[in-house]
Chains A and B, each alone.
Chain A
Amino acid sequence: MAASREIEDTAAQWLARRESGDWPAAAQAELEAWLARATAHRVAFVRLQAAWTQAARLRALAGADSGVPERLSWDEAAPARADAPADAAASPLRADALSFQVRPKPARASRWPYAAAAAVATLAVGLGWGWLHYGAVERSSYRTALGKTDEVALADGSHATLSSDSRIEVALSGAQRRVELAQGEAFFAVAKDPRRPFAVAAGARRVVAVGTHFSVRRDGADVRVVVTEGTVRLESEPVGGHPQPTTLLPAGSIALAGPNGVLVRSVPVEEAERYVDWRHGFLVFRDTPLAQAAAEFNRYSARKLVIADAAAGELRVGGNFRWSNAEMFVGLLEQAMPVKAERLPDRIVLRSR
């Protein structure tokens, strides 16, 4: 057991003993001696005591006939809910969820006017059907410059967030939703529509979804897919005439599809979300080789981080950094790691010292 847990355990025992009603003066003296022995003892005790004091306020929620209330039975007793929604809307952590909420689908064909119906009904219906199924609802191209990200609303209610230096080609019709990731990385919040799968093509791979959140990224021949909500299907083009297996990726999957196959890692959704933190301006590293971290920064900036020697490239780094502030990252590297930075106008060279 960690030392801090042992201390907490002891503090709880003291407190429970004091609360038991059997509390001679000698015990109080002994407790005070224990508290005085280390600040760690005192803070643990103060903390538990504060929660315990708070717990008495539960009485405010108890009904007249008391007794231990059923779990989750507080609703009637507690008027607390009234002020919840406003706070929920203001919750900064949920802001991303909100901004990706599905918009109502744009109204398609409105009602056919009755007057003309008799004459052109057959033709109109035929045309309408054709338009709905094959006509383009949206055909557009979006791109972002180096160091910029952009969120675009698509005609079907889906949203795409483009990372730095990225490009997507969107072709939506009544029958299908197709997006090609031509370059870079994009995060998709797909509006639910089981009849029209949303397919993102990236080189030889295709990611198909019906209503989920995921990102797709291209690195040369490699494609990385990160799923943060729902399930997507990763399909691959046949290689040498051999069909490739399709991979189902549930939320929390990080799939790396290279020329040799697909590697899938399953992580808690919260961790998967770190991979798409770039949307909020951050790069998150966990025990990441410096060479790789530098490559991430380089996706966002013209002033490149260059690793001068292998030893420097192998150093492990972690933390949350603004991708717009590579300079600060370099400063911290110098401060905490055996790295020396040479700052040139177009690049920063990192070498071990």
Chain B
Amino acid sequence: MDNDLDAWFAADILCHEAALVQYLRRAWPHPDEVHDLRQEVYVRVYEAAGKARPHQPKSFLFATARHLMTDRLRRGRVVSIEPVGDFESLNVLIDECSPERRLGARQNLRRLAEAFDRLPERCREAVWLRRVEELPQKQVAQRMGITEKTVEKQIAKGMRLLAEHYFGGEAGGQDGAGMAALGRSRRSATDDEAQGHDGHGGKQGD
């Protein structure tokens, strides 16, 4: 176990997930492969960082994404020069600082709350009781009137969705239409703006 590496990965890489996912979505012609690509990018970054920590994590992350897509193309799976495309045009490299630093703790908390609010009802309840109120699993089960096994399942599901919404931001949605719909359903324009910023932070600085 390399806890140091894990911590670095969580702090300096995962915070760019929203931008990464958006980049992959934009550059890769098969949306259903984006999840796989993202994971593969993470694997490569993690393994490389195990040997030597990159100086500029975000640049390194996106360069890795680009190389991965190029590799897949070379293997002839897709006839498109898509990912080799004008990488520079996305301007993902302009902002090197991490969202943590840029957004500030409060906004980060808000984003967390929004991610939490997007969980399905039972999932949300289980996560709250277990993680925030720190009730023992048994009590959570009693409180919710379900079995412990089900609580565990809901927690597992909650973890996945929470990570998707929290790290992936809006880009974690299924597609553009979903994103737009979510944006509209928010309470106010201010929120939309704030969320839009959170979700797309480091991108496009024209």
Contacts and interface: CB of A to CB of B under 8 A. Distances in A.
Interface stretch (A90-98, A117-125, A255-263): A90-98
Interface stretch (A2-10, A103-111, A163-171, A304-312): A2-10
Interface string B67-98: 00010010000011111111011100000000
Interface in B119-176: 124-125, 127-133, 136-138, 148, 151-153, 155-157, 159-160, 162-163, 166-167, 175-176
Interface in A263-290: 268-271, 280-282, 286-287
A53 to B, nearest CB: 8
Contacts of B83: 319
Contact of A322 (B29, B46, B89, B203): B89
Contacts of B42: 40, 43, 47
Given A94-B196, A268-B175, A320-B90, A83 B107 contact: yes
A56 B132 contact: yes
Contacts of B88: 322
Contacts of B116: 55, 58
Interface in A34-80: 35, 38-40, 42-44, 46-52, 54-62, 66, 68-69, 71-72, 74, 78-80
Per DSSP, chain A at the interface is helix
Interface stretch (A16-24, A126-134, A176-184, A205-213): A16-24
Interface residues of B, number: 85
A141 interface: no
B82 A317 contact: yes
A337 B81 CA distance: 7
Contact of B193 (A57, A80, A88, A335): A88
Nearest to B43: A39
A51 B18 CA distance: 14
B43 A84 contact: no
17 contacts: A12-B157, A13-B152, A16-B153, A49-B10, A55-B116, A56-B132, A68-B125, A71-B117, A74-B113, A81-B194, A84-B191, A315-B79, A317-B82, A320-B26, A320-B85, A320-B89, A325-B86
Interface of A: 2-5, 7-9, 12-13, 15-17, 19-22, 32, 35, 38-40, 42-44, 46-52, 54-62, 66, 68-69, 71-72, 74, 78-85, 87-95, 268-271, 280-282, 286-287, 315-322, 325, 328-329, 332-333, 335-337
Given A13-B156, A52-B131, A93-B200, 15 more contacts: A3-B36, A4-B40, A16-B153, A20-B137, A58-B131, A84-B110, A84-B191, A85-B190, A89-B193, A92-B205, A93-B196, A93-B197, A286-B29, A319-B84, A321-B85
Q: Can you list the 5 inter-chain pairs with the closest CB atoms, starting with the nearest?
A: A319-B85, A88-B193, A270-B176, A80-B110, A318-B82
